[in-house]
Amino acid sequence: MSQVFQHDVLIIGSGAAGLSLALQLADHCSVAVLSKGTLDDGSTRWAQGGIAAVLDNEDSIESHVQDTLIAGADLCDEEAVRFTVENSKKSIDWLIKQGVPFTPNDEHNSDQPYHLTREGGHSHRRIIHAADATGLAVSNTLIDQAIHKDGLEIFTNRMAVDLITRRKLDTHGHGCVGAYALNGESEHVDVFKARFVILATGGASKVYLYTSNPDGSSGDGIAMAWRSGCRVANMEFNQFHPTCLYHPQAKSFLITEALRGEGAHLLLPNGKRFMHRFDERKELAPRDVVARAIDHEMKRLGSDCVYLDISHKPADFIKSHFPTVYERCLEYGIDITKDPIPVVPAAHYTCGGVIVDTKGQTDMPNLYAIGETSFTGLHGANRMASNSLLECLVYAESAAQDILSKLDTVPEPPYVPDWDESQVTDSDEDVVIAHNWDELRRFMWDYVGIVRTNKRLQRAKHRIDMLNKEISEYYSNYKISGDLIELRNLSVVADLIIRSALMRKESRGLHYTLDYPNLSAEPRNTLLTPDQW
């Protein structure tokens, strides 16, 4: 049997963005958090490097702002960048108050209590971290706080299917009033009604064959917002992390950028360094530059990977600063205190997303998007390292304040009918979903990857148009499943990425095309508006 739930606030997603927001609201109103699987299934726990923030006396807000603007290839929104950076220390202080165990500073003559590291694109050491497992520390802390928080109800194994809007219900007004969600245990679709709905579902890097992201990164929030009438922006800017472990048994294991921040060298198979030929910053160049350089060398040499070497540093230093990487590599027979690490680029972060303001508010009243789901303007054409968790925290706080200011003005949601399954049947053709899933991710990797051409993009557009028709027909005739929901969302996101890439007639940041290798004179965002507008 389907169930109906009602809360003041519905948060879809249980990562850093969603749980931070939930914890700041639960003392003031009833809050529901939907987690796609278990509470710790999202991308947050996989973030190794840390969180960028202005914490040191030798650093400055202006320096962090300028570094971000440069990394974003002149496409960042300076207001959003400044807003985020100015609130960085406040967000870190809040995390410390929650109990996140950041690594202490081992320099006794310093007044800085926490160790700060440096990563690509940063001009100062400003990355606060918990060894090389910052995301795990943040995730575990927030989960522990959330499960003991009064006023906060957590629903695991609930996959959002679509948003419920007043327009879809054909009621007076315009706005979001809840969401339908598949209960993975009962296999029924439940109704979640709320006065405010927040999309905190993460990014869409699972649209690519090779990714550093967990399986759930299927662009659910972006696709749902788009289907409901919200604009999206800059979907062509997909960040490929330069260094993921290359090993047949290592699934999606990221080698943190902090290794390069602490002096690791990128090497060709013959042991020679190569980054100096691509950028004067060498291994500390922004991620788009490093990923393209690696991609170029692998294609030039026909090599399966390149290598990342930190073995010239003391073994004790490596083990203490990078225990997670050390232990994981050792499982595959790689001792990073002695041997270089085989690495390849992999899809890592969605820089575009649902358009929001500095409060996380989308085009639709009472619908918010925070974290990787959103487009705030912070990242521009290339996200700078360790600005992602910072964005989650800053916009969670600003969204919380905006929602609290409106609590008494937004009415209760109207009647919402149950999900209608009367016209569909059980599928005996699930192989179609698996085949389409594989095909989509392969042609996105081949045609819409690190280096693009018009011809490749047109091929991708032709394939996604055909796939979308197949998936739409399948969705209309058969009972939904988790795999079908994700495939449907990935196909929407893939189409948005391809359309955006075709519209950009230049190479900028993460979008590099052989047909337009130069920058255009006028930086501009790529804005897409749903047809119903």
Bridge partners of 153, per DSSP, are 32
Dig out the tokens for 528 from the structure: 């897409």
- Kindly list the distances between the CA atom of residue 148 and the CA atoms of 18, 98, 151, 154, in Å, as whole numbers in the listed order: 16, 12, 10, 10
Rounded to the nearest 10°, the torsion over CA 370, 371, 372, 375 is 50
User: Which residue type sits at 106?
Assistant: D
| Sheet hosting strand 527-528, strand order edge to edge | 374-375, 353-355, 232-233, 527-528
Cβ partners under 8 Å of residue 449, min gap 6 = 208, 240
Q: How far apart are CA 126 and CA 53, in angstroms?
A: 6
Q: How far apart are CA 19 and CA 344, in angstroms?
A: 32
Q: Coil, strand, or helix at residue 449?
A: coil
Q: How far apart are CA 95 and CA 19, in angstroms?
A: 12
Beta strands in 120-237, from DSSP E residues, in sequence order: 127-128, 152-155, 158-165, 176-183, 189-199, 232-233
- Tell me if 425 sits within 8 A of 479, measured CB to CB: yes
User: Which are the catalytic amino acids?
Assistant: 287
Phi, psi of 389 (to 5 degrees): -60, -35
